[in-house]
């Protein structure tokens, strides 16, 4: 709030005719603030609320059949690199 924004690859100001746009890439929680545009002494204000990203499974596991004494590989993907995955078997956490 009331801090100037330095334009960069993450903060971009774009003008197309009369339309002025501020683009904030890779929003972070600390970007939540009141944003103001000023033109010739007039102001337009809006609040920006950045919500914490929720982990989602982007690739579901598939059934696997393995031979006794063989190896089985189960794989899944999640939407956040920082998300933690906990593996369980029959509802019990597999300890490392």
Return left, alpha or beta for 30; rule: phi > 0 is left, psi -120 to 50 is alpha, else beta. alpha
User: How does DSSP classify residue 2?
Assistant: -
C-alpha 33/C-alpha 3 separation (Å) is: 10
Angle, vertex CA 79, rays to CA 84 and CA 7, nearest 5: 110
pLDDT along the chain (96 residues), means of 10: 85 97 96 95 97 94 97 96 92 91
- What pLDDT score does 82 carry? 87
Q: 37 with 22: CB under 8 angstroms?
A: yes
- What pLDDT score does 1 carry? 61
**Residue 71 CB burial class (10 angstroms; 0-12, 13-18, ≥19):** exposed
* pTM of the complete model: 0.65
Q: 75 with 58: CB under 8 angstroms?
A: no
- What pLDDT score does 96 carry? 80
């Amino acid at each position: 709030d009331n801090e100037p924004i330095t334009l960069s690859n993450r903060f971009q100001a774009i003008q197309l005719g009369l339309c002025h746009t501020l683009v904030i890439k890779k929003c972070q929680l600390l970007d939540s603030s009141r944003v103001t545009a000023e033109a010739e002494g007039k102001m337009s204000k809006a609040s920006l609320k950045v919500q914490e990203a929720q982990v989602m499974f982007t690739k579901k596991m598939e059934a696997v059949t393995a031979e006794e004494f063989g190896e089985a590989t189960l794989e899944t993907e999640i939407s956040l690199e920082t998300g933690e995955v906990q593996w369980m078997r029959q509802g019990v956490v597999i300890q490392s």
